[in-house]
């Protein structure tokens, strides 16, 4: 059975070997420092790791490591990184603040001051920085955007749509080149939609833009989901129109030869509760997700992927009704997220993508045997009846002990009987 067949079976709720995803999305990635350690453990070619995500500092999983780990999903990467720096196909070496030599895109450029590393929109060092790796940090934080006093009578939805655009011919050519390199592989292929992230809080500051207008302060944005719902609804409605045109373009490029499209990475849950009420989700977010998902399901064979951390149990039924097939990461460590309850209640409706091990405690701080036991326990719960693709609860973080990562991977293959 190929990786693609394993993933398709899982997504169609056919019980069998559980697929493994590391590096297939920006929420199932591995920090570049851990990628380097894994390459060394498996005795692979010693070379700098390519950092494809310079916000979370995720390392690309090359084919040799993908095979060594037994991963089943491969991504089509975007043309621009989180800060708007372009992948031109040319690369250079860069030393991170923690002393690791990595490969970055040729356009990557930062400034350093007082132990901090600053990111500038589009790599324009003359522009005010929009992100920072703090001293001692190992990934970037978005810097707060200056927010002018908001005149509600003068708000223009165009201002909050500046970063959402139709795919250009240059974008299309780039995607085609990415696709050509992996189209004949046996892996399931994932794609991240452009403009599809309705209300995604990570996108609100628009760190790739030098002087964005509209509502750009995160606190102000959250308040606006209550006080300015009509304005946000107009933004979301027009954004969805752009997203749908891009989705149609993707289908013209790929047809049914990809399996997964990530629609949105917006978190709806905290460790203990929801960010929004269920009613707010139903009124403000659900119609736009459903519009995109309905078109995809009516016209393609793709499965749609929704990332949201946290305590989201009250929203899972709503996410299903909105048309999402795959929910990630299933943070069963949050309140009211008992894994057996989630599987029993929703396991036949949606595919759980992630949730294989606790990345806040067990994986970074437990023993290899504790990691093994937890992974096997989660697989025993989630794998029954299919509908499960295993990964961690969100990305695999820096400083995670290599022996624990290996214990996790070995436990997955032990459960599958594949090694």
pLDDT tens track for 41-97: 999 999 999 999 999 999 999 999 999 999 999 999 999 999 999 999 999 999 999
Q: Do the domain assignments include residue 90?
A: no
User: Is-contact 296 255, C-beta < 8 A?
Assistant: no
- Whole-angstrom Cα distance, residue 404 to residue 125? 39
Structure-token pair, residue 415: 């459960």
HSE-CB of 350 using CA atoms within 13 angstroms? 28
Q: Do the domain assignments include residue 55?
A: no
Q: Could you tell me what percent of the chain has a pLDDT over 70? A: 100
Structure-token pair, residue 253: 């490029």
418: pLDDT strictly greater than 90:
no
Torsion of CA 9, 14, 16, 18, to 10 degrees: 60
User: 329 preceded by cis ω (within 30°)?
Assistant: yes
Q: Do the domain assignments include residue 400?
A: yes
Q: Do the domain assignments include residue 140?
A: no
Q: Do the domain assignments include residue 97?
A: no
Listed residue (10, 9, 19) closest to 418, CA to CA: 19
Q: Do the domain assignments include residue 199?
A: yes
**pLDDT, tens digit, for every residue of 169-220?**
999 999 999 999 999 999 999 999 999 999 999 999 999 999 999 999 999 9
Q: Do the domain assignments include residue 117?
A: no
Looking up residue 296, the CATH number of its domain turns out to be 3.20.20.210
What is the mean pLDDT of the segment spanning 29-47? 98
User: Is-contact 226 173, C-beta < 8 A?
Assistant: no
User: Is-contact 235 160, C-beta < 8 A?
Assistant: yes
Confidence of residue 113 (pLDDT cuts 50, 70, 90): very high
419: pLDDT strictly greater than 80:
no
The predicted model scores a pTM of 0.97
- Whole-angstrom Cα distance, residue 164 to residue 200? 12
3: pLDDT strictly greater than 90:
yes
124: pLDDT strictly greater than 90:
yes
The tally of domains found in the chain comes to 1
Confidence at residue 148, expressed as pLDDT on a 0 to 100 scale: 85
What is the mean pLDDT of the segment spanning 2-21? 98
Confidence at residue 49, expressed as pLDDT on a 0 to 100 scale: 98
Confidence at residue 19, expressed as pLDDT on a 0 to 100 scale: 98
Please tell me whether residue 249 adopts helix, strand or coil conformation. helix
Sheet order of strands, 73-76 included: 73-76, 188-192, 260-264, 303-307, 326-328, 351-353, 388-389
Tokens 């939805």 — which residue? 157
State which residues form the domain around 410: 3-30+70-78+150-416
What is the mean pLDDT of the segment spanning 384-401? 97
Whole-Å CA distances, 125 to 83, 119, 128, 133 = 12, 8, 8, 16
Count CB atoms within 10 A of the CB of residue 86. 17
**pLDDT, tens digit, for every residue of 313-330?**
999 999 999 999 999 999
Listed residue (96, 30, 3) closest to 392, CA to CA: 30
Q: Could you tell me what percent of the chain has a pLDDT over 90? A: 99
User: Is-contact 8 15, C-beta < 8 A?
Assistant: no
Q: Do the domain assignments include residue 84?
A: no
137: pLDDT strictly greater than 90:
yes
- Strands 351-353 vs 326-328: parallel, antiparallel or unpaired: parallel
HSE-CB of 88 using CA atoms within 13 angstroms? 9
Mean pLDDT value across the chain? 97
- Whole-angstrom Cα distance, residue 359 to residue 363? 5
């Amino acid at each position: 059975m190929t990786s693609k067949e394993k993933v398709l079976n899982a997504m169609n709720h056919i019980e069998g070997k559980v697929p493994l995803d590391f590096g297939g999305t920006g929420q199932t990635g591995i920090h570049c420092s851990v990628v380097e350690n894994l390459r060394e453990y498996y005795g692979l070619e010693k070379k700098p790791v390519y950092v494809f995500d310079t916000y979370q500092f995720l390392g690309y999983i090359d084919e040799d490591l993908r095979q060594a780990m037994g991963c089943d999903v491969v991504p089509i990467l975007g043309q621009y990184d989180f800060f708007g720096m372009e992948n031109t196909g040319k690369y250079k070496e860069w030393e991170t603040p923690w002393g690791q030599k990595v490969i970055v895109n040729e356009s990557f450029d930062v400034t350093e001051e007082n132990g901090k590393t600053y990111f500038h929109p589009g790599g324009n060092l003359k522009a005010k920085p929009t992100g920072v790796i703090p001293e001692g940090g190992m990934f970037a934080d978005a810097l707060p955007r200056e927010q002018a006093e908001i005149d509600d009578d003068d708000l223009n939805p165009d201002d909050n749509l500046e970063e959402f655009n139709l795919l250009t011919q240059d974008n299309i050519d780039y995607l085609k080149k990415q696709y050509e390199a992996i189209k004949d592989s046996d892996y399931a292929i994932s794609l991240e939609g452009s403009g599809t992230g309705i209300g995604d809080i990570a996108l609100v500051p628009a760190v790739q833009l030098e002087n964005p207008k509209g509502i750009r302060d995160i606190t102000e944005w959250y308040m606006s989901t209550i006080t300015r719902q009509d304005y946000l609804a107009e933004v979301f409605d027009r954004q969805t129109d752009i997203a749908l045109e891009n989705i149609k373009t993707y289908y013209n490029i790929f047809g049914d030869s990809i399996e997964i499209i990530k629609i949105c990475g917006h978190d709806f849950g905290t460790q203990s509760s929801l960010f929004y009420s269920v009613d707010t989700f139903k009124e403000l977010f659900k119609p736009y997700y459903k519009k995109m998902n309905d078109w995809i399901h009516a016209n393609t064979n793709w499965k749609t992927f929704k990332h949201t951390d946290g305590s989201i149990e009250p929203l899972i039924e709503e996410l299903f009704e909105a048309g999402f097939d795959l929910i990630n990461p299933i943070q069963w460590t949050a309140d009211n997220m008992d894994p057996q309850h989630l599987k029993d209640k929703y396991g036949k409706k949606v595919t759980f993508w992630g949730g294989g091990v606790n990345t806040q405690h067990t994986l970074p701080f437990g023993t290899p045997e504790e990691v093994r036991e937890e992974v096997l326990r989660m697989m025993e719960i989630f794998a029954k009846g299919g509908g499960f693709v295993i990964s961690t609860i969100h990305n695999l973080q820096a400083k995670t002990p290599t022996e624990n990562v290996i214990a996790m991977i070995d436990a997955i293959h032990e459960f599958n009987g594949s090694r």
